[in-house]
């Protein structure tokens, strides 16, 4: 039976690349994003049956109906990729200090990055409790910024991504009896619109001097790790975080 992958943030950057990679790997993909036009473009032209779903992952009701729609139209979700995320910045190359941060930006960042990940993960666990799927998977996305206190991100972004590291561990414990593994990927700097909202291309050369592999990562680098975590071969990995960062942070 075709395995179903639900990918949030599927309209852009890493999520859009994952939509294509999982479709090419034979999954039936549901691409979900707040951008209706963006997800429609992501699935356009892909071979096979896929879905484009407009949903705001920070909204409890929308997350519940997203899962209902996907499971009705494609079947039970085998792999949930929680890739949607935001970073609020005053402008390219600028980050707000803690003392200049607005509470509204903190709340919005946590609503999408942390609450959104929690809501999708909880919905997946509820559905797989009712109807288990063999070697089912949840793959969250944190950031090397959360591990390093990264200099480009705001405090809200870094703390929201730190929460995802911890959420991954407790979810892995609770989901284990379902045969559902929960892991996380912590990307370094990856070439996407989100990166370019905080880092201008002129900064790349200096930044890459601090990366042992001396390049900005690509969405393919993250997708490769996600495909591995989704595979049966990754069945004994849970509660872990895979660093995909060119060596900028080594544990």
Ligand X SMILES: NC(=O)c1ccc[n+]([C@@H]2O[C@H](COP(=O)([O-])OP(=O)(O)OC[C@H]3O[C@@H](n4cnc5c(N)ncnc54)[C@H](O)[C@@H]3O)[C@@H](O)[C@H]2O)c1
Residue 147: burial class (beta carbons within 10 Å; 0-12, 13-18, 19+): buried
Residue 33: burial class (beta carbons within 10 Å; 0-12, 13-18, 19+): buried
What residues make contact with ligand X under the rule CB under 6 A? 8-9, 11-15, 33-35, 38, 56-58, 83-86, 112, 116, 141, 143, 187, 189-190, 192-195
Token representation of residue 136? 């089912």
Task: Provide CB contacts within 8 A for 169, sequence distance 6+.
Answer: 239
- Nearest distance in Å: CB 201, ligand X: 13
Q: Which residue numbers are catalytic?
A: 157
- Nearest distance in Å: CB 89, ligand X: 12
Task: Provide CB contacts within 8 A for 222, sequence distance 6+.
Answer: 14, 17, 18, 141, 185, 187, 190, 244
Q: Using the minimum distance from each CB to ligand X, give the nearer residue, 136 or 142.
A: 142
Q: Using the minimum distance from each CB to ligand X, give the nearer residue, 52 or 84.
A: 84
Q: Using the minimum distance from each CB to ligand X, give the nearer residue, 53 or 133.
A: 53
Query: What's the CA gap between 29 and 42, in Å, rounded?
Result: 10
Q: Using the minimum distance from each CB to ligand X, give the nearer residue, 118 or 133.
A: 118
- Nearest distance in Å: CB 126, ligand X: 19
- Nearest distance in Å: CB 172, ligand X: 19
């Amino acid at each position: 039976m075709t395995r179903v992958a639900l990918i949030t943030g599927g309209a852009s950057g890493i999520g859009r690349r994952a939509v294509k990679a999982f479709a090419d790997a034979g999954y039936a993909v549901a691409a979900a994003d707040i951008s209706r036009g963006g997800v429609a473009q992501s699935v356009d032209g892909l071979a096979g049956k896929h879905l484009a779903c407009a949903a705001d992952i920070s909204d409890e009701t929308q997350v519940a109906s997203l899962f209902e729609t996907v499971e009705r139209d494609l079947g039970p979700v085998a792999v949930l990729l929680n890739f949607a995320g935001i970073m609020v910045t005053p402008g390219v190359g600028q980050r707000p200090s803690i003392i200049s941060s607005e509470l509204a930006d903190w709340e919005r960042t946590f609503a999408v990055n942390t609450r959104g990940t929690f809501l999708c993960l909880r919905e997946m666990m509820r559905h797989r409790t009712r109807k288990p799927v063999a070697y089912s998977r949840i793959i969250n996305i944190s950031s090397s910024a959360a591990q390093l206190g990264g200099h480009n991100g705001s405090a809200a972004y870094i703390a929201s991504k730190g929460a995802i590291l911890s959420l991954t561990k407790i979810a892995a414990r609770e989901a284990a009896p379902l045969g559902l593994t929960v892991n996380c990927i912590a990307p370094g700097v990856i070439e996407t619109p989100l990166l370019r909202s905080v880092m201008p291309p002129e900064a790349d050369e200096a930044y890459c001097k601090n990366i042992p592999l001396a390049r900005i990562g690509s969405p393919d680098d993250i997708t490769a790790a996600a495909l591995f975590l989704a595979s049966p071969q990754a069945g004994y990995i849970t509660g872990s975080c895979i660093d995909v960062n060119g060596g900028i942070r080594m544990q």
